[in-house]
Amino acid sequence: MYILLRYIALGLASILYVGAQRSAPRVLIYSATAAYRHDSIPTAIRVLKENGASINTTFDATEDRTFFTDSNLKSYDAIVFLSNTGEVLDDYGKAALENYFNSGGNFVGIHSASDSLRNTTFFVRQLGAKFDYHPELQEATVDVIAPSHPSTNTLPQAWKVRDEMYNFESDPRSLGAVVVLSADESSYTDTRERKFDQGTPHPLAWYQEHAAGVDARSGTAGRSFYTSLGHLNETWEDSVFLGHVLGGISWALQSNTTRAFNSSGLVGNAGSSSANGGESGTTPGSSSNP
């Protein structure tokens, strides 16, 4: 019964979403890696593309850093950084991404995206915090502390998952982020000593209504959503986790700063036609594990 009710709720949300928008949002998944590479990346891309219709969204995917130009990015309503690690953009790509954010573009980060572009200030602020470390992969309890958000409103209050409980170098709340998921630290084992204050309760997923990576003097801030979960292939095949991710993406898209909802937007899909997308340029990473 719970599964049935959950899908009814998602279906109703999808109907409302279609009725409200001007054109179908278009989202770019960027999954390039320059260090450790998660073998769940192809599964994640496939699952997101297969389920894009449930939020009336077209997903394209690339790992080509040269794709990051002003002209290419301006047709997207959101950019998803998926399990990236290391320096995955050069200076030209970073400049295009910063311009995109300053033009109202929305951002979603998933899993080890918080361990990429670590020295790029606007990116770290847009995401909310840098990855520090995680204890051994194990089962843990994740607490829903913002149950009314689209990324959490279908989750159990105490959600048991097998994943990596990330720790961060700062508290995303210091940038104005609202934490929606926290780790129940009594439910798993962590033998390392923390060097940074990430705030309480332990943040695992959060959102920013006005993303902090945007130039407050001249930019238009879109939305930002980040979840640290998503390490395993099995996780991406789980409908509960997928509801969490799709809920976060659909929330970010409804910022009213891009063309899918606002005809005056500077970036986003100006029409309902979709483009072909696919994986490109995949390269293996190193053996360190974020």
Q: Are 77 and 222 in contact (CB under 8 A)?
A: no
Alpha helices by DSSP H, 151-192: none
Q: Residue 159 maps to which CATH number?
A: 3.40.50.880
235: containing domain: 2-128+153-253
Q: What is the pTM of this model?
A: 0.88
Structure tokens at 110: 């998933």
192: Cβ contacts below 8 Å, ≥ 6 apart: 133, 135
Residue 203 lies in a domain: yes
How far is residue 166's CA from residue 130's CA, in Å, rounded to a whole number? 10
How far is residue 226's CA from residue 177's CA, in Å, rounded to a whole number? 10
Q: What integer pLDDT is reported at residue 99 of this predicted model?
A: 98
Structure tokens at 81: 């950084």
Residue 119 lies in a domain: yes
DSSP secondary structure letter of residue 90: -
Residue 216 lies in a domain: yes
* 220 bridge partner residues: 103
Residue 285 lies in a domain: no
Residue 275 lies in a domain: no
Residue-wise pLDDT tens for the chain (290 aa)?
A: 344 334 434 553 444 444 444 679 999 999 999 999 999 999 999 999 999 999 999 999 999 999 999 999 999 999 999 999 999 999 999 999 999 999 999 999 999 999 999 999 999 999 999 999 999 999 999 999 999 999 999 999 999 999 999 999 999 999 999 999 999 999 999 999 999 999 999 999 999 999 999 998 899 999 999 999 999 999 999 999 999 999 999 999 999 999 999 999 999 998 743 333 333 333 333 334 57
* 138 bridge partner residues: 163
Task: State how many domains the chain has.
Answer: 1
Residue 260 lies in a domain: no
- Report the interhelical angle of 239-253 vs 41-50 (nearest 10°): 70
Q: What integer pLDDT is reported at residue 271 of this predicted model?
A: 76
* 133 bridge partner residues: 167
- Per the listing, tokens 């940038």 go with 175
Burial class (CB in 10 A: 0-12, 13-18, 19+), 18: exposed
Residue 261 lies in a domain: no
Q: Are 27 and 56 in contact (CB under 8 A)?
A: no
How far is residue 19's CA from residue 28's CA, in Å, rounded to a whole number? 23
H-helix or E-strand containing 109?
strand 106-110
Q: Quick one: the chain helix, strand, coil %, rounded to 5?
A: 30, 20, 50
Q: What integer pLDDT is reported at residue 23 of this predicted model?
A: 79
Question: How many other C-beta atoms can be found within 10 angstroms of the C-beta atom of residue 139?
Answer: 10
Q: What integer pLDDT is reported at residue 270 of this predicted model?
A: 85
Residue 194 lies in a domain: yes
Q: What integer pLDDT is reported at residue 180 of this predicted model?
A: 98
